[in-house]
Chains A and B, each alone.
Chain A
């Protein structure tokens, strides 16, 4: 795999992670448990979609075939999506949404911090801008992990259930594939293995404060980074891409 191809794949993955999670969160719009959280979640969704725009725009430049951020978001099929499986998992309830968010925020905070050192100036600049938002996201999801885990008996049970069921999607975030190895060697990508101790320490800290038990399963789902997705992504894309597919080139 040459570097340009790897960089395209990598940037797509980062953009797709943000886009799909942002879309998932936007599904809460108008349905939040209370008004204030409805706004909080859509704020985070907008931050993520903003990050996705920067990343997909850059991906289009790297590819050099004239595709725009919109072409990449709305006219790409499911197997060309590179997001991890975690972010396409359904919202289920507030507990699932928070656990999914915390796994992602914990990863992305450490990931973007490391990406600041990238020799690719555009990626380093996107990392710097994103970090300001991600720092708040991590604070938000950590706070809710603790509040609900260490809340009532019922909220604790719901959080533990969500944690146990989402657990197998946490591993893929820090699993290296060929793209990661090529770009790490080139000084562009992040050493995901090296992020594990910090991510695990943060997870342990939050779970302890939340009085939640660390799941023990070691088998992790993966495949999203190579375009092998769960059925859920198909439904997301069907809704997200419908308009551009039915009315190509439609604008506001």
Chain B
């Protein structure tokens, strides 16, 4: 029952229907069931969400910050990839 024996979980919350799940933080739990319940108590107490995803942190593969130049800089001079030439209707949110 020691804290360090419990794995770490990453928590994703969907704040309302139609939006994406968003990473909100991490917590400790013994298994996925407990992770969902803990996430409910820790991250949705103020009605922040309608759906919860949990994933054990060890299953997340992250990019290497030292490769940032090679991975991201080539995109900097390619403005034509941004859809700035369209007029978005006002009703469209969350773009």
Contact = CB atoms under 8 A, between A and B. Distances in A.
* A pairs with B: yes
Interface of A: 33-37, 39-40, 43, 139-140, 143, 147, 151-152, 155
B38 A40 contact: yes
A196 B1 CA distance: 34
Contact of B42 (A36, A140, A143, A152): A36
Contact of A140 (B3, B27, B28, B37): B37
A229 B28 CA distance: 39
16 contacts: A34-B3, A34-B28, A35-B27, A35-B28, A35-B42, A36-B28, A37-B38, A39-B38, A39-B45, A40-B37, A40-B38, A139-B37, A140-B37, A143-B37, A147-B30, A147-B34
- The 9 A-B residue pairs whose C-beta atoms are closest, nearest first, are A36-B38, A40-B41, A39-B41, A43-B41, A34-B3, A39-B42, A36-B27, A36-B42, A34-B28
A33 B1 contact: yes
B33 interface: yes
Interface centre among A35, A36, A155 (most CB of B within 10 A): A36
Interface string B27-63: 1111001100110011001000000000000000000
B33 A36 contact: no
Given A143-B33, A147-B30, A36 B1 contact: no
B79 to A, nearest CB: 45
A34 B6 contact: yes
Contacts of B42: 35-36, 39
Contacts of B37: 40, 139-140, 143
A33 B29 CA distance: 12
Nearest to B38: A36
Given A34-B6, A36-B28, A147-B34, 4 more contacts: A36-B27, A37-B38, A39-B42, A43-B45
Nearest to B41: A40
Contacts of A147: 30, 34
